[in-house]
Chain A
Amino acid sequence: GQQVMQIPQYQHVQEGEDFTTYCNSSTTLSNIQWYKQRPGGHPVFLIQLVKSGEVKKQKRLTFQFGEAKKNSSLHITATQTTDVGTYFCAGTQKTSYDKVIFGPGTSLSVIP
């Protein structure tokens, strides 16, 4: 079945450093979504990428969708303590309904 993988599993950065998490799917995706879950909270939808090679920005966050639509990345510039949490990518398989498969997540810690 479809698998979505993410690396790294954990990342500790000094406040002000950049952070990147990578997401890879075993199959081609129709779209990819990113979610953020703060400690003790619930996942919150950040963004959806649909087009091959698409790049979207939200303030200090940059999201990319690979040309082959099998991988994606989230880059945070100059991390802040408010960025702490687990970032999940979630892919929708081209042949399925809107069932979304979540990656295992990358847990980000920011050291002030």
Chain B
Amino acid sequence: DSGVTQTPKHLITATGQRVTLRCSPRSGDLSVYWYQQSLDQGLQFLIQYYNGEERAKGNILERFSAQQFPDLHSELNLSSLELGDSALYFCASSVARDRRSNYGYTFGSGTRLTVV
């Protein structure tokens, strides 16, 4: 157990639907990151939150949104789902706020999303 909790582990849904993925960071970590990993693909950075605020944005589609709540858990919302959105979605957390104190990410076990 890495200390980063992601739910659900598996999700199967139809095209056009909306889903919410949940992440609880490791205790003490203020930053949460979302990554998408498609089959045989690398890790595509989606978005980062630090202590409730959006910190950085990557290749996140307009159909996707995220937020971090006061208790530091984060949710990734995926809407108008398409077949191509099928992927593993990882959440990671770290204590770092900036590049001078980057100690590495702790990843959750991921949510496998299948769009049919």
A joins B in a complex: yes
Chain A: interface secondary structure? strand
> B99 to chain A: which residues have CB within 8 Å?
30-31, 92-94, 96-98
Find out whether the CB atom of B31 lies under 8 angstroms from the CB atom of A98. Answer: yes
Interface magnitude class on chain A: 20 to 34
Give Cα A105–Cα B42 distance, bound, in whole angstroms: 6
| Neighbour of A88 across the interface among B42, B103, B108, CB < 8 A | B42
Find out whether the CB atom of B104 lies under 8 angstroms from the CB atom of A42. Answer: no
A-B contact count (CB 8 A): 75
Find out whether the CB atom of B98 lies under 8 angstroms from the CB atom of A45. Answer: no
* B18 touches A (CB below 8 Å): no
> A42 to chain B: which residues have CB within 8 Å?
2, 90, 107-110
A residues with CB within 8 A of B: 30-31, 33, 35, 41-45, 48, 88, 92-94, 96-105
